[in-house]
Amino acid sequence: MKNLMRTGAALIVILFMFSFKLINPGSYVPGDRARDFKLKNVNGKMVSLADFKDAKGFIVVFTCNHCPFSQAYEQRLIDLDKKYAAQGYPVIAINPNDKNVAPDDSYENMVSNAKEKGFTFPYLYDESQEIAQAYGAARTPHVFVLQKSAKDNIVKYVGAIDDNADEAGAVTKRYVEDAVNQLLDGKSIAVPSTKAVGCSIKWKKA
Protein backbone atom coordinates (compact mmCIF):
# COMPACT_ATOMS: atom_id res chain seq x y z
CA MET A 1 0.00 0.00 0.00
CA LYS A 2 2.79 2.35 0.98
CA ASN A 3 4.63 1.51 -2.21
CA LEU A 4 1.53 2.19 -4.25
CA MET A 5 1.15 5.60 -2.66
CA ARG A 6 4.77 6.38 -3.34
CA THR A 7 4.43 5.43 -7.00
CA GLY A 8 1.26 7.49 -7.23
CA ALA A 9 2.95 10.52 -5.71
CA ALA A 10 5.89 10.16 -8.10
CA LEU A 11 3.51 9.97 -11.04
CA ILE A 12 1.68 13.11 -9.93
CA VAL A 13 4.99 14.97 -9.60
CA ILE A 14 6.00 13.88 -13.11
CA LEU A 15 2.63 14.93 -14.53
CA PHE A 16 2.98 18.32 -12.87
CA MET A 17 6.44 18.75 -14.33
CA PHE A 18 5.08 18.02 -17.79
CA SER A 19 2.16 20.40 -17.42
CA PHE A 20 4.49 23.21 -16.39
CA LYS A 21 6.97 22.33 -19.14
CA LEU A 22 9.71 21.60 -16.60
CA ILE A 23 10.48 18.59 -18.73
CA ASN A 24 11.16 19.62 -22.28
CA PRO A 25 10.18 16.74 -24.53
CA GLY A 26 12.45 18.17 -27.26
CA SER A 27 11.95 18.37 -30.98
CA TYR A 28 9.92 15.83 -32.94
CA VAL A 29 12.19 13.32 -34.60
CA PRO A 30 11.40 11.12 -37.61
CA GLY A 31 8.99 8.40 -36.53
CA ASP A 32 7.15 10.56 -33.97
CA ARG A 33 3.43 11.21 -34.20
CA ALA A 34 2.77 14.87 -35.00
CA ARG A 35 -0.18 16.45 -33.24
CA ASP A 36 -2.88 18.27 -35.16
CA PHE A 37 -3.82 21.90 -34.46
CA LYS A 38 -6.46 24.49 -35.15
CA LEU A 39 -4.86 27.80 -36.06
CA LYS A 40 -6.03 31.00 -37.68
CA ASN A 41 -5.10 31.44 -41.34
CA VAL A 42 -4.38 34.81 -42.96
CA ASN A 43 -7.86 34.64 -44.56
CA GLY A 44 -9.43 34.59 -41.08
CA LYS A 45 -10.46 30.90 -41.24
CA MET A 46 -9.30 28.23 -38.83
CA VAL A 47 -7.14 25.46 -40.34
CA SER A 48 -6.41 21.91 -39.12
CA LEU A 49 -4.47 19.10 -40.75
CA ALA A 50 -7.67 17.05 -40.51
CA ASP A 51 -9.33 19.47 -42.97
CA PHE A 52 -7.16 18.12 -45.80
CA LYS A 53 -9.10 14.95 -46.55
CA ASP A 54 -7.23 14.15 -49.76
CA ALA A 55 -3.72 14.94 -48.54
CA LYS A 56 -1.13 12.17 -48.30
CA GLY A 57 0.90 14.29 -45.92
CA PHE A 58 2.14 17.79 -45.26
CA ILE A 59 5.14 20.06 -45.55
CA VAL A 60 4.75 21.92 -42.25
CA VAL A 61 7.14 24.86 -41.97
CA PHE A 62 7.63 27.19 -39.03
CA THR A 63 8.50 30.54 -40.55
CA CYS A 64 7.82 34.24 -40.07
CA ASN A 65 7.89 37.65 -41.74
CA HIS A 66 10.93 39.36 -40.27
CA CYS A 67 13.69 36.73 -40.49
CA PRO A 68 16.03 37.08 -43.50
CA PHE A 69 16.32 33.29 -43.78
CA SER A 70 12.54 32.98 -43.88
CA GLN A 71 12.40 35.72 -46.49
CA ALA A 72 15.07 33.99 -48.56
CA TYR A 73 12.86 30.90 -48.70
CA GLU A 74 9.46 32.50 -49.41
CA GLN A 75 9.58 31.92 -53.15
CA ARG A 76 10.95 28.40 -52.64
CA LEU A 77 7.99 27.60 -50.34
CA ILE A 78 5.60 28.82 -53.03
CA ASP A 79 7.41 26.61 -55.56
CA LEU A 80 7.26 23.59 -53.22
CA ASP A 81 3.54 24.12 -52.68
CA LYS A 82 2.89 24.49 -56.40
CA LYS A 83 4.79 21.30 -57.09
CA TYR A 84 3.59 19.09 -54.23
CA ALA A 85 0.10 20.27 -53.16
CA ALA A 86 -1.33 18.65 -56.27
CA GLN A 87 0.57 15.44 -55.44
CA GLY A 88 -0.91 15.35 -51.93
CA TYR A 89 1.74 17.21 -49.93
CA PRO A 90 0.62 20.83 -49.40
CA VAL A 91 2.79 23.39 -47.61
CA ILE A 92 1.38 24.55 -44.26
CA ALA A 93 3.28 27.58 -42.93
CA ILE A 94 3.05 28.51 -39.25
CA ASN A 95 4.33 31.71 -37.65
CA PRO A 96 5.11 31.03 -33.99
CA ASN A 97 6.72 34.35 -33.04
CA ASP A 98 5.47 36.57 -30.24
CA LYS A 99 4.36 39.89 -31.69
CA ASN A 100 5.59 41.79 -28.64
CA VAL A 101 9.13 40.53 -29.20
CA ALA A 102 8.95 40.70 -33.02
CA PRO A 103 6.29 43.28 -34.02
CA ASP A 104 6.88 42.48 -37.74
CA ASP A 105 5.40 39.04 -37.07
CA SER A 106 1.96 40.21 -35.89
CA TYR A 107 -1.13 38.66 -37.48
CA GLU A 108 -1.83 41.87 -39.42
CA ASN A 109 1.68 41.82 -40.87
CA MET A 110 1.28 38.13 -41.76
CA VAL A 111 -1.85 39.02 -43.73
CA SER A 112 -0.08 41.76 -45.67
CA ASN A 113 3.08 39.69 -46.21
CA ALA A 114 1.11 36.71 -47.55
CA LYS A 115 -0.77 39.01 -49.90
CA GLU A 116 2.32 40.85 -51.09
CA LYS A 117 4.35 37.67 -51.74
CA GLY A 118 1.39 35.77 -53.17
CA PHE A 119 1.47 32.81 -50.77
CA THR A 120 -0.44 29.89 -52.28
CA PHE A 121 -0.52 27.99 -48.96
CA PRO A 122 -2.11 28.54 -45.54
CA TYR A 123 -0.07 30.86 -43.33
CA LEU A 124 -1.20 30.22 -39.76
CA TYR A 125 -0.69 32.14 -36.56
CA ASP A 126 0.44 30.05 -33.56
CA GLU A 127 -0.32 32.85 -31.14
CA SER A 128 -0.12 30.71 -27.98
CA GLN A 129 3.13 29.11 -29.30
CA GLU A 130 1.70 25.77 -28.20
CA ILE A 131 2.27 24.11 -31.58
CA ALA A 132 5.85 25.32 -31.95
CA GLN A 133 6.48 24.00 -28.41
CA ALA A 134 4.87 20.65 -29.20
CA TYR A 135 6.82 20.22 -32.45
CA GLY A 136 10.01 21.47 -30.85
CA ALA A 137 10.57 24.10 -33.51
CA ALA A 138 13.80 25.93 -32.70
CA ARG A 139 14.25 28.39 -35.53
CA THR A 140 12.68 29.86 -38.64
CA PRO A 141 12.48 28.31 -41.13
CA HIS A 142 12.19 24.81 -39.61
CA VAL A 143 10.45 22.11 -41.66
CA PHE A 144 8.56 18.99 -40.56
CA VAL A 145 7.45 16.70 -43.41
CA LEU A 146 4.55 14.55 -42.23
CA GLN A 147 3.00 11.47 -43.79
CA LYS A 148 -0.61 10.61 -43.12
CA SER A 149 -1.22 7.17 -41.66
CA ALA A 150 -4.58 5.59 -40.92
CA LYS A 151 -4.88 7.42 -37.61
CA ASP A 152 -2.09 9.95 -37.33
CA ASN A 153 0.44 12.08 -39.09
CA ILE A 154 3.90 10.63 -38.75
CA VAL A 155 7.04 12.79 -38.87
CA LYS A 156 9.24 11.68 -41.75
CA TYR A 157 11.73 14.50 -42.15
CA VAL A 158 12.87 17.35 -39.89
CA GLY A 159 15.17 20.19 -40.83
CA ALA A 160 16.25 22.53 -43.58
CA ILE A 161 14.61 23.15 -46.95
CA ASP A 162 17.86 22.85 -48.90
CA ASP A 163 21.59 23.51 -48.55
CA ASN A 164 21.83 27.16 -49.61
CA ALA A 165 19.64 29.87 -48.08
CA ASP A 166 21.54 32.68 -49.74
CA GLU A 167 21.41 31.59 -53.37
CA ALA A 168 18.57 29.45 -54.64
CA GLY A 169 20.58 28.95 -57.83
CA ALA A 170 23.50 27.40 -55.97
CA VAL A 171 21.48 24.71 -54.20
CA THR A 172 22.85 21.19 -54.62
CA LYS A 173 20.87 19.27 -51.98
CA ARG A 174 17.08 19.66 -52.00
CA TYR A 175 16.35 18.01 -48.65
CA VAL A 176 12.57 18.59 -48.52
CA GLU A 177 11.97 17.80 -52.20
CA ASP A 178 14.03 14.62 -51.91
CA ALA A 179 12.12 13.54 -48.80
CA VAL A 180 8.70 14.14 -50.37
CA ASN A 181 9.75 12.43 -53.61
CA GLN A 182 10.91 9.42 -51.63
CA LEU A 183 7.59 9.32 -49.75
CA LEU A 184 5.68 9.54 -53.02
CA ASP A 185 7.78 6.68 -54.41
CA GLY A 186 7.20 4.60 -51.28
CA LYS A 187 10.91 4.63 -50.48
CA SER A 188 12.58 5.22 -47.16
CA ILE A 189 13.96 8.71 -46.55
CA ALA A 190 17.67 8.88 -47.33
CA VAL A 191 18.32 12.00 -45.22
CA PRO A 192 15.62 12.12 -42.50
CA SER A 193 17.00 15.10 -40.61
CA THR A 194 19.26 18.08 -41.20
CA LYS A 195 20.23 21.24 -39.38
CA ALA A 196 20.38 24.81 -40.61
CA VAL A 197 21.10 28.26 -39.33
CA GLY A 198 17.98 30.29 -38.74
CA CYS A 199 16.45 32.97 -36.57
CA SER A 200 15.62 31.88 -33.06
CA ILE A 201 11.90 31.57 -32.35
CA LYS A 202 10.79 34.67 -30.52
CA TRP A 203 9.26 33.11 -27.40
CA LYS A 204 7.03 35.18 -25.15
CA LYS A 205 8.98 36.90 -22.42
CA ALA A 206 7.81 35.75 -19.01
Partner 1 sequence: MKRSVFLVLIIFSLCTYCKAQNAAIIKWNTLENLLHQKTDTTYVINFWATWCKPCVAELPFFIEQEKQLSNKPFKFYFISLDFKKDFTTRLIPFLEKHNINSAVYLLDEPDYNGWIDKVDNRWQGAIPATVIYNASANKRDFYEKEFTLEELIQTLKTYIQ
45 near partner 1, rule: CB under 8 A: no
199 near partner 1, rule: CB under 8 A: yes
Q: How many residues sit close enough to partner 1 to count as binding (CB under 8 A)?
A: 24
Q: How far apart are CA 198 and CA 155, in angstroms?
A: 21
168 near partner 1, rule: CB under 8 A: no
Task: List own/partner pairs for 39-42 with CB under 8 A and 24 or more apart.
Answer: 39/94, 39/124, 39/125, 39/126, 39/131, 40/107, 40/124, 40/125, 40/127, 41/122, 41/123, 41/124, 42/107, 42/110, 42/111, 42/114, 42/115, 42/119, 42/122, 42/123, 42/124, 42/125
195 near partner 1, rule: CB under 8 A: yes
Q: Mapping DSSP to helix (H, G, I), strand (E, B) and coil, where does residue 122 land?
A: coil
Contact pattern for partner 1 over residues 130 through 159, marking x by CB under 8 A: --------xx-------------------x
164 near partner 1, rule: CB under 8 A: yes
Q: Which of 165, 176, 179, 189 binds partner 1 (CB under 8 A)?
A: 165
68 near partner 1, rule: CB under 8 A: yes
Nearer to partner 1, 59 or 160 (CB): 160
Residues 13-42 that bind partner 1 (CB under 8 A): 27
- Radius of gyration of the chain measured on its C-alpha atoms: 18
Residue ranges that bind partner 1, judged by CB under 8 A? 27, 68, 102, 138-139, 159-160, 163-167, 170, 172-173, 175, 194-201
